[in-house]
Structure 1
């Protein structure tokens, strides 16, 4: 139903983002090709992703947020892509498997990020003081809590769009 655009068929406002993505991945991923139908969504998602990558959360903690959103929203393409990214970051196969299976993580600090992400989602941001204190007890800050919200927003947009467009 949704077009998987090429550089030639994509709206002109999506082409630069597609070219940058192709340079980074060696090709235009199907998800990007389909999201290209909306230059605003594609460019907005890529800008938000870059901003999330600049947060003070460490790279593996950011991937825990992403994988938690992706598994919760049943976005198979996101799970596969970010499982690969976790492996490139040196994450253990056990960590990747636990995230894929929505199980508790053996690393307490990363598990705190996973639980906090789920709590933010379940409460639509209405996180109670006990959950905040638990997150902070693992060395996270108010800034980190807001960065988790940013990751949730960024990757909720991506997972919903990928599912809507049937990206593979």
Structure 2
């Protein structure tokens, strides 16, 4: 929790609620750090996170990661589209959003054509697996946040 407080300048209520299970909190923080260290660029990582958060209806996650996108200099149209679950104007980031949704919809059984479409935007197979890491990390977070009624 100290690392989180240092990063955010405070301990977010969602993190405090997850601390009821130190195992879950530590797992989330470790996975989150791994995802942050991945080769996906920061805004692409946030696209994955926001796509999962919107899909899973985690309002606190959407709010927190809207702030993160603003810190990264993302434009308001991109943020609004992500929050609404709409297609993105940026084709490369839209490829990440669509691929994330496809991985979720197929439980990882993405069709070859869908994987090729993702790769055609300059992403790699490593990036595809990093999307899976982000989905796993933020599925855990969004479900736990909803369960604990984090606000």
TM-score, structure 1 normalization: 0.89
**Count of aligned pairs:** 151
- In structure 2, the residue matched to 1:159 is 142
- In structure 2, the residue matched to 1:138 is 121
Aligned: 1:129 with 2:120: no
Structure 1 residue ranges without an equivalent (≥5):
1-17
- In structure 1, the residue matched to 2:77 is 94
Tell me how far 1:21 sits from its aligned partner. Answer: 1.6
RMSD of aligned Cα (Å):
0.6
CA distance in 1 between counterparts of 2:46 and 2:113 reads 24
- In structure 2, the residue matched to 1:66 is 49
Tell me how far 1:23 sits from its aligned partner. Answer: 2.1
Displaced runs of 4+ in structure 1, greater than 6 A? none
Q: SS in structure 2 opposite 1:114?
A: helix
- In structure 2, the residue matched to 1:13 is none
Tell me how far 1:20 sits from its aligned partner. Answer: 2.0
Of structures 1 and 2, the one with the larger relative CO (CA 8 A, separation 6+) is: 2
Structure 2 residue ranges without an equivalent (≥5):
none
- In structure 1, the residue matched to 2:90 is 107
Larger radius of gyration: 1
TM-score, structure 2 normalization: 0.98
- In structure 2, the residue matched to 1:31 is 14
Q: SS in structure 2 opposite 1:118?
A: helix
- In structure 1, the residue matched to 2:32 is 49
Tell me how far 1:24 sits from its aligned partner. Answer: 2.1
Tell me how far 1:104 sits from its aligned partner. Answer: 0.3
- In structure 1, the residue matched to 2:132 is 149
CA distance in 1 between counterparts of 2:3 and 2:102 reads 35
CA distance in 2 between counterparts of 1:92 and 1:26 reads 24
